[in-house]
Amino acid sequence: MLKDPYNRTVSNLRISLTSRCNLRCIYCHAEGEVLPKEQMSAEDIAELMRVGVQFGVKSIKFTGGEPLLRRDLVDIIRSVPPGVESSLTTNGTLLAAKAAELKEAGLARVNVSLDTLRPERYRAITGKDCLADVLAGIDAAIEVGLTPVKLNMVLLDGINEDELDDFMAFVRGKKDLILQVIELMEFNECKFHGDVDSVERDLNDRATQVVTRRMHHRKKYCLDGAEIEVVRPLHNTEFCAFCNRLRVTSDGKLKPCLLRSDNLIDTAGKHGKELEDAFREAVSRRKPFFV
């Protein structure tokens, strides 16, 4: 297993499969990429995964852009090494038609980005009128067992803060649905930073159980049959101290930190020992962004 200079073990590989997306969300950070990008081949992705697993990676998350735009997505999922959990983050608009095939290929679960349950707000946030498609995708994912489905709700000041109770009602009593309330990242000059402090205090006061997860040391609140996780990446030393991820950009660069783009390692044309050395170098460059 690879450990960085801060004694953090890398056990999760987060692979951006494409920089393309069919939505234009007002806050999108595009996994820290500068668009556009040439995407990796399925063969290169498979080799990256094999090397990652060789170094102790135990779980792989596929992201984008929108990964469902890749026609070879099912083949990529089938190439995940045995014994490794794979999951996928999607906007959900194309999920309903693909959920069963993704499950059959070996995908374990999905995260679905959903910032509002109101059609007019969805259109304002994403630029498209696709809320019904997303809800159908969530239902399909649950039906085929891509669970638990985690709903990624980015908290947006003046836009969706008043929907938190609606989201909790949406997941309440559904063991296969978990709500993730996510702090807005500082990309694209988006200034709609919601009051995550206030939300977390309220959840803490109301929760019947609070669990601290190993992933980024973040809290999960259980209340009234609903599970809510709060993801706080900004100015959060614990988020960084417990980070176990190494990212891969859609054009094949190893990215040690989401919030930095000045320390990437290019894997293009690298195979075998060269690729292994690239992994070692990328992990050696990992440094907490917030200390």
Is there a domain that residue 2 lies in? no
Is there a domain that residue 291 lies in? no
Angle among Cα 19, 180, 55 to the nearest 5 degrees reads 60
pLDDT digits (tens, 9 = 90+) for 141-182: 999 999 999 999 999 999 999 999 999 999 999 999 999 999
Is there a domain that residue 45 lies in? yes
Q: Residue 145: what are its φ and ψ, rounded to 5°?
A: 95, 25
Q: What is the pTM of this model?
A: 0.95
What is the pLDDT of the chain when averaged over all its residues?
94
CATH code of the domain containing 110: 3.20.20.70
Helix (H) or strand (E) holding 174: none
Give the Cα separation of 118 and 160 in Å (integer).
Answer: 9
| Percentage of the chain modeled with pLDDT above 70 | 97
Q: What is the mean pLDDT of residues 249-260?
A: 94
Query: What is the extent of the structural domain holding 26?
Result: 12-284
Is there a domain that residue 290 lies in? no
Question: How is the beta sheet containing 177-182 ordered, strand by strand?
Answer: 209-212, 219-223, 226-231, 177-182, 149-154, 109-113, 85-90, 59-63, 12-16, 245-248, 253-255, 265-266
Is there a domain that residue 252 lies in? yes
- 30 confidence band (pLDDT: 50, 70, 90): confident
Q: Is the pLDDT of residue 28 over 90?
A: no
Is there a domain that residue 6 lies in? no
Q: Is the pLDDT of residue 36 over 60?
A: no
Q: For residue 35, what pLDDT is reported?
A: 59
Is there a domain that residue 237 lies in? yes
- Region of poorest pLDDT, from 41-45, 216-220, 227-231, 283-287: 216-220
Strand partners, 112: 90, 151
pLDDT digits (tens, 9 = 90+) for 202-233: 999 999 999 998 777 889 999 999 999 999 98
Q: For residue 242, what pLDDT is reported?
A: 93
Q: What is the mean pLDDT of residues 17-33?
A: 85
H-only helix segments in 127-256: 131-144, 164-171, 196-206, 237-241
Is there a domain that residue 64 lies in? yes
How many structural domains does the chain have?
Answer: 1
